[in-house]
Amino acid sequence: MSHLLHIDSSVQGDASISRKLTAHAAERWTQRHPAGTVTYRDLAVEPIPHLDAAGGLARNVPADQHTPKQAESFALSKLLIDEIKAADAVLLGLPLYNYGAPSVVKSWVDHIVAAGLSFDPATGAGLLGDTEFIVLESQGGGYGPGSPRHGWDHAGSWIGHGVSLTGLAPRIIKAELTMAPVNPTMAELIPLHEKSVADALAEIDALWAPVDATA
């Protein structure tokens, strides 16, 4: 049976574009896999603890030497990695905050990069490479070639490097200029924003095209 892991991280609730994109993608995936199951994780509502001095070294210390806090942190890493291993596809909503990824997403990545769980420490081979990884990024501004802040998107450019040890290879779908409808100084960019969202939705639709019953 097919299984989807759906992860959101935006703090904006119903106003979030990244949440709209992941919801649309989850709906399309479910239509393509009607017997499939879904696990949902909301990092904004239930944030993953950041690595700290008490438990942060858990992934670098043998299990039989773990302190109680390290054992707790390591158990969480194993849980998060097992969620990925159980999934055929992972959807991650990735809003751009202050030109980078939300800290809760960074925390999730820090936990899933763990020797022996998500990659082989002897060979360096990633252990999660069989899972499809779709990242749906929303950008308040525009950061493409020719824009004043080209290259300032440090979320989409980072996520692939951040998970690289695990074997996950993200496909990133972006919707930009999401602040245009609410920022009067960007009003002239609303048509470009709407086209960007429409293009993102079309790209999502193409990911899991419906099965042709007549084929």
- Residue 128 to residue 132: CA distance in whole angstroms: 9
Mean residue pLDDT of the chain comes to: 95
Task: Give the per-residue pLDDT at 210.
Answer: 67
pLDDT score of 208:
86
User: How confident is the model at residue 214, as a pLDDT?
Assistant: 47
pLDDT band at 212 (very low <50, low <70, confident <90, very high): low
Per-residue pLDDT, averaged over 110-115, amounts to 97
Could you tell me the end-to-end alpha-carbon distance of the chain, in angstroms, rounded to an integer?
Answer: 22
> Of 74-88, 103-117, 160-174, 199-213, which gets the smallest average pLDDT?
199-213
- Residue percentage of the chain with pLDDT more than 70: 97
| CATH of residue 105 | 3.40.50.360
Q: Is residue 61 a part of any domain in this protein?
A: yes
User: Which of the two residues, 21 and 147, has the higher pLDDT score?
Assistant: 21
Residue 91 maps to a domain = yes
Kindly write down the DSSP assignment for every residue of 45-94, as one continuous string: TSPPPPP-TTTTTGGGS-GGG--HHHHHHHHHHHHHHHHHHT-SEEEEEE
Q: Is residue 213 part of a domain?
A: no
Residue 151 resides in a domain = yes
What pLDDT digit, counting tens, does each position of 93-109 carry?
A: 999 999 999 999 999 99
Asked, for residue 215, whether it belongs to a domain, the answer is: no
Residue 35 maps to a domain: yes
Domain housing 49: 3-207
| Number of separate domains in the chain | 1
Residue 5: pLDDT above 60? yes
Give per-residue burial for 55-86: e unless 16+ CB within 10 Å, then b: bebbbeeeeeebeeebeebbeebbebbebbee
* Other residues' Cβ atoms within 10 Å of the Cβ of residue 206: 10
Structural contact between residues 200 and 138, judged by C-beta atoms closer than 8 angstroms:
no
CA 59/CA 68 separation, integer angstroms = 13
What's the rounded Cα separation, in Å, for the pair 174 and 40?
A: 21
Q: Is residue 195 part of a domain?
A: yes
Asked if residue 214 belongs to a domain, the reply is: no
